[in-house]
Amino acid sequence: MAELESVLFTNELEISGDKNKHASNRTRKLAINGDDEMLALLKNRAIKELEQTFPDEVESYRKIRALSAAVSYIYDFVGWISQQCKYLSMRFIMVGNNNP
């Protein structure tokens, strides 16, 4: 009878251990998500304080970021155009060589 009780007890420990693993995983995920939310709140608060303290500088910074994004987009577009020109010129050369 003692053996059966010890087997049942060890099974209960294994089950509770599994439950603890799942609970700790959930807790870890909540902690990570909570950290992300906390960082987002701190970031928003810092941005609001900067906007109130230095409104002109924040506006200038936003304009610079917008211009930088536009230049980056144009640069990527020019790169794409360059690739297309190379591709078309190679096709033209290949077609020209096939015609005697």
SS3 99: coil
Question: Does 31 lie in the same domain as 4?
Answer: yes
- State the Cα–Cα distance between residues 43 and 38, nearest whole angstrom: 9
The residue that leads in pLDDT, 99 or 29, is 29
Sign of CA dihedral 76, 79, 85, 91: negative
Say whether both 3 and 14 belong to one domain: yes
- Note the pLDDT tens digit of each residue in 54-91: 999 989 999 999 999 999 999 999 999 999 999 888 88
| Number of domains making up the chain | 2
Structure tokens at 69: 């994004």
51 vs 43: CA distance, rounded Å: 12
Provide the domain limits for residue 63. 55-100
Q: What is the pLDDT of residue 100?
A: 47
**Whether residue 45 is found in the same domain as residue 63:** no
Tens digit of pLDDT for each residue in 14-57? 555 555 565 566 666 655 566 677 778 888 888 899 899 999 99
pTM beyond 0.85: the answer is: no
- Find where tokens 């790169």 sit: 79
d(CA 4, CA 18): 21
63 & 49 share domain: no
Task: For residues 9-15, give the mean pLDDT.
Answer: 52
- Domain final residue pick, 53, 75, 90: 53
